[in-house]
Structure 1
C-alpha cells in the first residue's frame, strides 16, 4: 500500500454499540465486530527487536472501541470511516488502513453470521 507492504493486523474485536437506522438498534444496541489492517513500515522493529520501533496494537483497539461505543451512527460505512480517519490522523506512520465492521443481529429473514462492510482509506484521502 503506497510503497509499504508491511501491515499490522487487529482481527476479531467485539464491542457493544447503538448504531443503525432502526429505532430499536439505537435503543437496545447490539454487538459489532471490527477488523483493522494498518500498513506501515515494520522493518525497523524487525531489525532492532525493539518495541519503540514498532506500533502499539492497543492504540488501534482504543480507537475502534471509542467509535463503536461512542455516538450512534446510522450506517456502518460511517462507523468504519470514523475508525479509519481517526487511525490515520493519530498515527502518521500509517500509510493506509482497511477497516471491516460487521453486525450479527440484523433484520434478515434467514441465517447468517453477520452483515458488514469493508473500506480502505489511504493517507492521501485525508487531504480531500
Structure 2
C-alpha cells in the first residue's frame, strides 16, 4: 500500500474465547492486536482537531469489542473481522491487522503465533482500478 500517512496502534490486549478447541472457548485467553491504518492526516494536521482524524482511543474500543465478542475458530477470521470493521470508516484507505495468540495450544516452546491481513477499502480499490 503506497500511502504516505499512517496511524499505528500496537499491543492492544483483549481477552477473547477464540480457537478450534472447546477448552479455548471455555477458558479464553488474551489476544494481542496490532493495527496500521493508511489514510491522509493532512486535514487533521492543518486543523489540529481530533474530529478530522481517526480517534484511536475510540477505534481501540471498537477493536476490543470485536475480540471480546462472538468466538471464531481461526485467527484469520478474527483479523478479517477487525479489518472489515476498521474499513467502515471511509477516511481509512487501507489497514494491516495482526492478531497474536501468544498462548496458543502448541505443545512446544514458542514465543508467539500471529496472523496478519492487509485490506484496502472498496472505495480505494475502485479509485485505483478506475
Tell me if both proteins adopt one fold, taking TM over 0.5 as the criterion: yes
The CA deviation at 1:63 is 2.1
Equivalent residue, structure 1, for 2:63? 64
Choose which of 101, 119, 130 in structure 2 pairs with 1:103.
101
Q: Does 1:78 align with 2:84?
A: no
If the length of structure 1 is used for normalisation, what is the TM-score?
Answer: 0.89
Give the root-mean-square deviation of aligned CA atoms. 1.8
CA offsets, 1:79-103, max 9 Å, x none? 00000001101x1100001000011
Instruction: State how many pairs are aligned.
Output: 125
Change (3 A) 1:125 1:55: closer
User: Structure 2 stretches of 5 or more lacking a match?
Assistant: 126-130
User: Structure 1 stretches of 5 or more lacking a match?
Assistant: none
Query: Is this contact kept in 2: 1:10–1:60, CA < 8 A?
Result: no
The CA deviation at 1:43 is 1.3
Which residues in structure 2 correspond to 1:1-128 (within 5 Å)?
1=1, 4-89=3-88, 91-124=89-122
If the length of structure 2 is used for normalisation, what is the TM-score?
Answer: 0.88
Distance 2:54 2:122 in 1: 21
